[in-house]
Amino acid sequence: MPRPRTAIRTPRTDGRTARSQRTRRAIAQAMLALIHEGVLRPTAPLVAERAGVSLRSVFHHFRDMEALYAIAADIQTQRVMGMLQPVDDALPLPGRIERFVAARSSVLEALAPVRRAVVLDEPFSTVIASRLAEARARFAEEVERVFATELRSLPVGERRDRLCALAAASEWPMWESLRTHQGLSLPAARRVLRVLLAGILADVAPGVRTNGSRTRKERHHAVHQTAR
C-alpha cells in the first residue's frame, strides 16, 4: 500500500510562511492602532497605509474584513488576558470589592477605544458578535467566582438576578457611562463602581461599606441618637 504523500517543507517555504504571518499580524496591529487613535471604522486603505503595505497586500492576506477582524480580535484577546489579575475569592467582601474594581476598571479602561469601535459593527459582523459574546461570558464568570460566597447564600432565582446585576454593573457599557457620559475621573468612576457592587450585595452582607459610608446598623443607631 503506497504511503500518503506529505508536503516537504524547505527553509525557503518556512521563511515565506513566517513573513506572511508577520505581515498578517502587522496589518491587524495597524487596524488596532488606528482604532486606539479614535478611528472608529478603519478602512482597508487606511489600514494598508498604517501597516506600510499595499492595499492589494491587505486583501492578499485577508479575503475580507471579517478575516482581518478575526486576527485583530485574537491580538486584542491576548493583550487583555495578559492584563487580568485574578482576585482572591477568600478575602473578606470589602477587600474583594476593592481588588475586583481595581482589576476590572484597569481592563475596561484599556478596552474602551476598541469597544467603542466594535460595538458599531457588532450587528453586522459574525466575528465581532461572537468575540464580544465570549468576552462578556468571561467577565460574568469572573464576577460569579469572586462573589460566589454571597451568591451561594441566595435562592437560585434571586442568585441569577444578583449575578446579572453584578455583571451589568461591572461591564463596559456601565464604565463608558461613568467615564464618558458622566465625565467622571478614573478614581471617581472606581468609587461609584464600588458603591454599585456593595449596594447589590448589601442585604447579603449587611456589614459591608465603601468610602467611609456607615453600615445599616450604624445608620439606625445614628437615627435613634438624633431622636433623643
- In this predicted structure, what is the pLDDT of residue 225? 41
> What DSSP element (H or E) covers 47?
helix 44-51
Contact 51, 30 (CB under 8 A): yes
Greater confidence, 139 or 84? 139
Nearest residue to 198 (alpha-carbon basis) of 174, 170, 156: 170
Query: Pick from 71, 74, 69: which is nearest to 124 by CA?
Result: 69
Mean pLDDT of the chain: 85
Stronger pLDDT, 161 or 227, i.e. the higher one: 161
Q: To which residue does cell 458578535 refer?
A: 129
Query: Is 123 within 8 Å of 64 (Cβ atoms)?
Result: no
Residue type, 106: S
Listed in order, strand segments (DSSP E) in 40-83 are: none
pTM recorded for the entire structure: 0.76
Question: Looking at per-residue confidence, does 104 or 8 come out higher?
Answer: 104
- Chain centroid to CA 203: how far? 28
pLDDT tens-digit map of 201-214: 998 876 555 444 44
Burial group, residue 56, by CB count within 10 angstroms (0-12, 13-18, 19+): exposed
* Per-residue pLDDT tens digits for 42-79: 989 999 999 999 999 998 888 888 888 888 888 888 88
Number of alpha helices (DSSP H) and beta strands (DSSP E) in the chain: 11, 0
Percent of the chain scored above 90 by pLDDT? 56
Higher pLDDT pick, 221 / 88: 88
Per-residue confidence (pLDDT) for residue 214, from 0 to 100:
43
